[in-house]
Amino acid sequence: MNLRRGQLLKMGYLALLVLLLHACVSQKENKNLTWYQHQVIEQLVPETDSSYRVQIGIMAATFWLDNQDGQLAKKLNLLQQSYTQRNKVDVAVQQGTNKIIRVTKSE
């Protein structure tokens, strides 16, 4: 019985450690991002084959979307839907670069 209890205790500590590490990694990643939530895309202009200039809402700033991470088609599809159909999206922009990192549908 003590052997089983010891194993359960070790598994509990391991699960707690994994959750703690996951929380720390997620927070570090999000520190470099600025989120624009529930926004409608006002301008979507192709610059090159794999780079687009994006205006989010009525902000004067210009943001950039490129294909460095291989997710251009997915992000571009969501941005185009927001631009043409006025669907709201959440956009994560890397601080200091104005590079669009993530695009998701608003809930």
6 located within any domain: no
| Structural domain includes residue 11 | no
What is residue 23's predicted lDDT score, i.e. its pLDDT? 62
Residue 88 lies in a domain: yes
Residue 75, token pair as written in the block: 């992000």
Q: What is the pLDDT of residue 48?
A: 80
CB contact at 8 A, 86 and 38? no
pLDDT above 60 (res 26): no
Query: Half-sphere exposure of 92 toward its Cβ, with a 13 Å CA cutoff?
Result: 10
Q: Which residue did the predictor score with more confidence, 8 or 103?
A: 103
Looking at the structure of the chain, the number of domains it has is 1
Taking the alpha carbons at both ends of the chain, their separation in whole angstroms is 48
Answer whether 59's CB lies under 8 Å from 94's CB.
no
Per-residue DSSP letter, 98: T
Look at residue 33 in the predicted model and tell me its pLDDT.
92
Give the bridge partners for 105, in sequence order.
89
**Residue 54 falls inside a structural domain:** yes
H, E, C per residue of 29-42: HHHCEEEEEEECEE
CATH number assigned to the domain comprising residue 89 = 2.40.50.340
pLDDT digits (tens, 9 = 90+) for 89-107: 999 999 988 899 999 999 8
Position 50 scores a pLDDT of 75
Q: Residue 19 pLDDT more than 90? A: no
- Write out the residue range of the structural domain in which residue 54 sits: 33-105
Task: For the chain, state the CA radius of gyration.
Answer: 20
Residue 28 has pLDDT above 60, yes or no: no
In the prediction, which pLDDT does 21 show?
A: 65
Task: Report yes or no on 101 lying in a domain.
Answer: yes
In a domain, residue 76? The reply is yes
Q: What is the pLDDT of residues 35-90, one digit of tens each?
A: 999 999 999 999 887 788 999 988 878 899 887 778 888 999 999 999 999 999 99
Q: Does residue 22 belong to any structural domain of this protein?
A: no
